[in-house]
Structure 1
Amino acid sequence: MGRKLFCMFIAGAWTAVLFPFTILTSLVLGGDSTLWICRHLWSPVLLWAGGAQMVVEGLEHVDPKRPTIYVANHQSTLDIPALFVAVPANFRYVAKSQLKWVPFIGWYLWIAGHIFVNRSNRQKAISSLQAAGRKIRGGTSIFLYPEGTRSPDGRILPFKKGPFALALEARVPICPVTIEGTRKIMPKNSWNIVPGPVHVKIGKPIDTSGFAANDREGLARAIRAQIIQQNVELGGLGGDVEDAVAAAGYEGIGQPSPPARKSS
């Protein structure tokens, strides 16, 4: 209980303290300066409060000057500060539209130019991904969680195909990023904090030019298979390689198998 209250206090107080400074910095220096604050001031304190010990490998695969779509599995709310620290590139998150109304965090994401997706409205979701495409073509990297939700047990859930349509349209590399350990520190829908290691593995970027322009599913399967492999290498539970693509309109639920053919 002591660790839980301590983390809740630190997260709320430190975010509230930094928020006006972030607004001022954004107005004076522009949006990328807010990422510096998030990476060097906000995230390290939250990770310290939760007792997260960061272990990062694959930094050679990050090129801050190259527009890239970073794709990661999603275990915990703690993934957000952990990946800000682990991936040294000026990226923008693609986040659920509901986060826009969360005090301080949502306001920060809006001010810093992160992208909100309304997944309950297909047309608005498409418009949001188009906005992400414009950022990529302008030289800004994007960070996505294609599972669409946090995994309750750490296994890699099926991926939504929408983000991969964005990658195929923009024709920029996709960098698979795997995180393991945040769920044990801070499980989904819980503030029961248990300190421990957080492992992040940044994989070699995949060239999207090798995929057909409409092969969203093939690209999603290729990226997900690499993240599953990396997750197992980090001691995680991996995931079902075959149950790779989420059913339309759902998060974390695979497409139903085709009905078995009746023998004549």
Structure 2
Amino acid sequence: MKKRISSFLLWINIPLSAAAWIAMGLLTLFIVMAGFFVFIVSTPFDWRYRSLMHFIARVWAKSILFAVPFWRLNVSGLENIPPGKKPYVIVANHLSLIDILVLLSGLNRSFKFMAKKELFSVPFMGWHMALTGYIPVDRKSAQSSYAAMRKAMQWIRKGVSVVFFPEGTRSRSGQIQPFKIGAFKVAQEAGVMILPVVLYGTRDALPKKSWIIRRASRFHLSVGKPVEVQPGANHEEALLGLRDRIRKEMADRLDRLKQEDRHRK
């Protein structure tokens, strides 16, 4: 009986998913075309920061979350971000392609993403990412990774935060995977604080390597308190310790979000 119900729900999800993707595609096309116009008009006075292009990206993300009626976003911890325009290295766990929508919609400050280079080849969306100044990285190339880190440093020195997914790829299990060290090295070298952000719920809606939107979902974005980088006497050892401590704190917060979500249900 359960198998039949599951099969029925899957068949229901297929047309719903197709409709949602069509709506998202049309919204993306419309907003990206508007973004091209904004880019041309704003380039003379906004080339350094491209903040208007990021604003267009936020409009895109919020429009998609609004257009898909069975998605809801819950944001907490914004009070942990001190007022002002101080840049951060933002580290977030990675569960789904929807994470990008959630971060753009939920974080109330301008930032740049570091994203895999393949996304920049996607028509319209990838072009907008490039014009906005988001940072492509080839995870298989050490040279590309180094160039991406340099680009992240440039943005931070301009006063713009950069988002890293330190796991390096989306988690299949939903648990936070081991962190790579790159984001923490950038924070150390730039002399900025690390802002941990925990995401939950996006994997249930759109798992890795799937186009079918599984079910109605409530997404959670939880902002932690900024963490100062304290290298200590042994820089590498201190940095590895900081990385592991932040990962553990984020994993604990993810567990709390899961428990709270179960209680709501």
Equivalent position of 1:227 in the other structure: 250
Q: Which has the higher helix share?
A: 2
Where structure 1 has 5 or more consecutive residues not aligned to the other structure, the ranges are 237-264
1:35 aligns with 2:50: no
Percent sequence identity over aligned pairs: 33
Change (3 A) 1:23 1:77: same
1:61 aligns with 2:88: no
**Distance (Å, rounded) in 1 between the aligned partners of 2:249 and 2:231:** 16
1:64 to partner: Cα distance: 5.2
1:163-174 equivalences under 5 Å are: 163-174=183-194
Structure 2 letter corresponding to 1:226: E
Equivalent position of 1:14 in the other structure: 27
44-53 or 211-220, which deviates more = 211-220
1:66-81 equivalences under 5 Å are: 66-81=86-101
Q: Deviations over 1:94-128 (max 9, x none)?
A: 11112111112211110000111122211221121
**Distance (Å, rounded) in 1 between the aligned partners of 2:188 and 2:21:** 40
Task: Name the TM-score, length of structure 1 as normaliser.
Answer: 0.85
1:137 aligns with 2:157: yes
Where structure 2 has 5 or more consecutive residues not aligned to the other structure, the ranges are 1-13, 260-265
1:160 to partner: Cα distance: 1.1
Structure 2 letter corresponding to 1:204: K
Equivalent position of 1:47 in the other structure: 65
**Distance (Å, rounded) in 1 between the aligned partners of 2:70 and 2:99:** 14
Structure 1 letter corresponding to 2:157: R
1:27 to partner: Cα distance: 2.2
Structure 1 letter corresponding to 2:113: Y
User: Number of residue pairs matched?
Assistant: 235
Helix, strand or coil: the match of 1:209?
A: coil
Task: Name the TM-score, length of structure 2 as normaliser.
Answer: 0.84
Helix, strand or coil: the match of 1:179?
A: strand
